[in-house]
Homo-oligomer: A and B are copies of this chain.
Amino acid sequence: MAAANELNPTARFLMGPGPSDVHPRVLQAMATPMIGHLDPQFIVIMDELKQMLRELFRTRNELTFAVSATASAGMETCFVNLLEPGDEAVVCVNGVFGNRMSDIVGRCGAKLTRVDAPWGQPIDPAALKKALDGRRPKLVAVVHAETSTGLCQPLEEISRLAHEAGALFLVDAVTSLGGMDVRTDEWGIDAIYSGTQKCISAPPGLSPVSFSPRAVQAMESRKAANKVQSWYLDLGLLRTYWQGAKRAYHHTAPVSMIYGLHEALRIIFEEGLEARFERHRRNHELLRAGLEELGFEFVVAPEYRLPMLNAVRIPEPLEDAPVRKRLLEEYNIEIGAGLGEFAGKVWRIGLMGCSCTPNHVNMLLAALRQIQQDR
């Protein structure tokens, strides 16, 4: 066969919706020599990882670990372990990822009730309250940080309503975790999942998840006939590997990915959570000011904007694909295209983890200014 080329990708500045830039120490960790997934030394690394994830999720949940696949599999893990056929689920939808949750609910054979809001606007608690009226759903699910719109959903009121209806509260924290506060226990979250390639700034490939004792109980109370539809994501099996004195083989853990996430979490705690969140807010402000000066408008109202994912309408006469292409080819800067109804109209500019620095902001603004002047 024709031999494939040596890997030689151009160095990029990753300012899209993820992956974000990865710290050299994390890249180095990825290259750590392999050890076995049942090696006592690896068990120690897993235990440290679980403890750091608990600190990051701000939870005491025993069942806190990383699913061996990307964030979308973390989403699926939460739904397939909690929902049984015929259960009711209420999903709040105001972007791509709420839609994806709804799709998965259907694949679980559960009954879906959607609470919709326009893209870029928060879910109205009153609408949720109405939807819950007379219902006893198994769970209420919502996206904390909607990566398709840049919206930050306030969670406390939604959580209260979910619990009043006797439901579990399930949250997507893929884009928020590591870049802003995620208070799993304080906010009454029963099941939460995230990804590694956003504000944690590790490579994509793992999904941190955490289940509250109530969620674990729901999982343990499944009817015997209703096995979790995914063997790979069955937490009842997975936790025999991640928990307990004796670790049983389930699947072969992605050792290098665990190395990378472990190092990324160490870096997060060296910086400190508060300092890290403040850095995300500060660089968001810098970006906002610069973009507004260039004539960009944000999709989301100020009080609901995410710091790490900035969705802006593409101002005339800039064209979507040609400008993104030029940013990538001339400046090596990647920004994100709009998804779904925002395709062609919106850009998504990420300031996540290692990609969240004043230098990133300044480079992008200068490049955009240059491109505008060239017209």
Contact = CB atoms under 8 A, between A and B. Distances in A.
A192 interface: no
A35 interface: yes
A72 interface: yes
A228 B229 CA distance: 11
Interface string A1-27: 111111101111010101111100001
Nearest to A259: B7
Main secondary structure of the interface of A (DSSP, over half): loop
A260 B205 CA distance: 13
Interface string A39-52: 11110110011011
A18 B252 contact: yes
Nearest to A266: B4
A117 interface: no
A195 B252 contact: yes
Contacts of A254: 70, 203-205, 257
A227 to B, nearest CB: 5
A232 interface: yes
A251 interface: yes
A263 interface: yes
Given A36-B16, A37-B19, A100-B231, A252 B197 contact: yes
Residue from A16, A32, A41, A52 whose CB has the most chain B CB atoms within 10 Å? A32
Nearest to A52: B4
A346 to B, nearest CB: 14
Given A4-B265, A7-B45, A262-B4, A14 B36 contact: yes
Contacts of A44: 5
A339 interface: yes
Which of A16, A205, A265 has the most B CB atoms < 10 Å from its CB? Answer: A205
Contact of A3 (B37, B205, B227, B269): B269
A308 to B, nearest CB: 15
Interface residues of A, number: 84
B232 A69 contact: yes
A230 interface: yes
Contacts of A72: 231-232, 250-252
A103 interface: yes
Which of A7, A29, A265 gathers most chain B CB within 10 Å? A7
B48 A4 contact: yes
Contacts of A107: 227-231
Given A3-B269, A270-B3, A252 B71 contact: yes
A31 interface: yes
A70 to B, nearest CB: 5
A55 interface: yes
A161 interface: no
